[in-house]
Amino acid sequence: MLGRIVNGHQQWLCRELSDFGYAVARQVAVADTAADITQAVREALGRADVVLTTGGLGPTSDDITRDEVARLLGRKLFEHAPSLANIERFFAARKRSMPASTRVQAIVPGGALVLANGHGTAPGLAMEVNPNPFRPGGMASWLIMLPGPPRELQPMFLEQVMPLLRKRFPLDAPFASVTLRTIGVGESILEERIAPHLRPLVTEGLEIGYCARTGDVDVRLSGSGPEAARLVAEAERVVREQVGGHIYGTGDELPESVLVRLLTERRQTLALAESCTGGAVANRITDVPGASVVLVAGVVAYSNAAKESLLGVNPDSLSSHGAVSEQVAREMAEGARKRAGADFALAVTGIAGPGGGTPAKPVGTVFIALATAAGTKVINPFNPVDRPTFKYVTTQQAFELLRRELLGL
């Protein structure tokens, strides 16, 4: 509630749930106070078949979710011996003494299924609330409480919570969905190009959702019922016919994972030479497991001296064209490709801002070069946005330049 942390759990959990076919009705975040937690859990139990909570199970004094939920549901708390043993093992394995405050995490409400925490100390809890005093007719709900740290929550959810949900809450009807990830076309234009062609399928029950970021838009096609799979498959075919060249991937695929896959399949390699993106291209490529097979080397050459010594850029090019120029981008890419012995090299030089702009080369100016065995291409987009957005958008454009080259688009 203080804005110190991004709520990545809501995103992650919603994606896992909606990809399986469950509808997430609401996401709520409240402060760590007894009144706020109790009110939010009570309202959620009044609305939904399943309520998931995250966080508030830890050892510090503001971790009160377990106690407040037990009070709300009128359940006694007791110490759960296997959970205490797990906490003791956790500290012993790390050769650290166990702080006394940590023991509270082994306290669980009566009647709860205890979800073992393989990556931390606080166990998760799953409780059937039946009868459910907050729902019309006392209709049962499940309340599932998960620990806050992502690397504890995520495996616990996938290995223990999803099997429980699938068993207790099988889908009413077949569900199908696909997310097509597009780049290089705005949300309005995209809808104008695909929506008229999808209209017949929409009347049959197809649902279309758009999610726009800066410079890329997801199109999610989904449906429920006996015809769901056919509807979604036909809709995907229609969208690919209309805007196929803009679709870089499906589902969770990222441009960088697509590139690592394509290069790995072709046994080709990549080198990078970055100025204004400052390592963002390399960082995203190396986020992909297996990137080491395709990425030979990257150079972050902010200074002119580094451009000369690490990439072999001609000092005359720097003085006559300036560091932010088509010529220097070209030489950075060609230098990186040659020195690393790679099949391809991407180079980026530009003005990320907020400082450094001039009337001739304002903030947002950027040159992206792609060196290949056949020659070097340079594009010159204009990204007059804030510094983080500049780095993101420019990185996307560099990835798209290489994707189009690899696919001959």
| Amino acid type, 197 | H
Between residue 143 and residue 162, which ones bind a second copy under the rule CB under 8 A?
Answer: 148-151
CB of 408 to a second copy, least distance (A): 27
Smaller CB separation from a second copy, 8 or 174: 8
* Contact (Cβ atoms closer than 8 angstroms) between residue 343 and residue 329: no
- With a CB cutoff of 8 Å and minimum separation 6, the contacts of 264 are 290, 293, 294
Minimum CB separation of residue 87 from a second copy in Å reads 11
Count of positions on this chain that bind a second copy (CB under 8 A)? 99
Which residues neighbour 16 within 8 Å (Cβ) at sequence distance 6 or greater? 157, 158, 162
Give which of 78, 156, 159, 73 is closest to 121, Cα–Cα. Answer: 156
| Interface stretch with a second copy, choices 110-118, 126-134, 287-295, 399-407 (CB under 8 A) | 287-295
Tokens of 330: 């070209």
Q: Based on CB atoms, which residue is closest to a second copy, 293 or 407? A: 293
> Using the rule CB under 8 A, is 402 a contact of a second copy?
no
Please report which helix (H) or strand (E) contains residue 89, including its range.
helix 81-93
Selected binder of a second copy within 235, 260, 263, 296 (CB under 8 A): 296
Q: Which is nearer to a second copy, 15 or 75 (CB)?
A: 15
Q: CB of residue 115 vs a second copy: minimum separation in angstroms?
A: 19
Q: What is the DSSP letter of 24?
A: P
Q: Which is nearer to a second copy, 245 or 278 (CB)?
A: 278
Q: If binding is defined by CB under 8 A, does position 322 make contact with a second copy? A: no
Q: Which stretches of 70-226 are assigned E, i.e. beta strand? A: 77-79, 107-109, 113-115, 124-129, 141-146, 175-183, 207-212, 216-224
Which two three-digit tokens encode residue 20?
A: 């399986």
Does 7 bind a second copy (CB under 8 A)? Our answer is: yes
Among the listed residues 179, 327, 365, 383, the single contact to a second copy using CB under 8 A: 179
289 near a second copy (CB under 8 A): yes
Closest CB to a second copy among residues 126, 180: 180
Radius of gyration of the chain (CA): 26
Q: Binding a second copy by CB under 8 A: which of 49, 67, 88, 187? A: 187
Q: Output the smallest distance, CB 27 to a second copy, in A.
A: 4
Binding residues for a second copy restricted to 85-104, rule: CB under 8 A: 99, 101-102
Tell which one of 250, 303, 320, 380 touches a second copy (CB under 8 A): 303
Tokens of 324: 């932010």
**Footprint on residues 245-264 left by a second copy (CB under 8 A):** none
Under rule CB under 8 A, residue 21 binds a second copy? no
In the complex, least distance from residue 210 CB atom to a second copy, rounded to whole angstroms: 5
Would you state the structure tokens that stand for residue 182, as one six-digit string? 């597009």
Q: For residue 397, what is the enclosing H or E element? A: helix 387-407
Q: What are phi and psi of 273, to 5 degrees?
A: -135, 110
| Interactions with a second copy, residue window 339-398 (CB under 8 A) | 339-341, 352-356, 385-389, 391
Q: Write out the binding residues for a second copy, residues 204-243 only, by CB under 8 A.
A: 209-214, 218, 220
In the complex, least distance from residue 89 CB atom to a second copy, rounded to whole angstroms:
15
Nearer to a second copy, 112 or 146 (CB): 146
Q: How near is the Cβ of 272 to a second copy at its closest, in Å?
A: 7
| Dist. CA 82–CA 142, nearest whole Å | 23
Peptide bond into 354 cis (omega under 30): yes
Q: Edge to edge, what strands does the sheet with 216-224 contain?
A: 207-212, 216-224, 175-183, 247-250
Reported for 87-95, long-range contacts at CB under 8 A and 24+ positions apart, including other chains, are: 87/121, 90/120, 90/121
Sole window of 55-63, 79-87, 138-146, 228-236 interacting with a second copy (rule: CB under 8 A): 55-63
Give the list of residues 6+ apart from residue 158 with CB closer than 8 angstroms, or none. 16
C-alpha closest to that of 60 among 121, 17, 125, 9: 121
- Tokens standing for 280? 């963002």
Residue (24 or 113) nearer to a second copy, CB = 24
Least distance CB 185 / a second copy (angstroms): 12
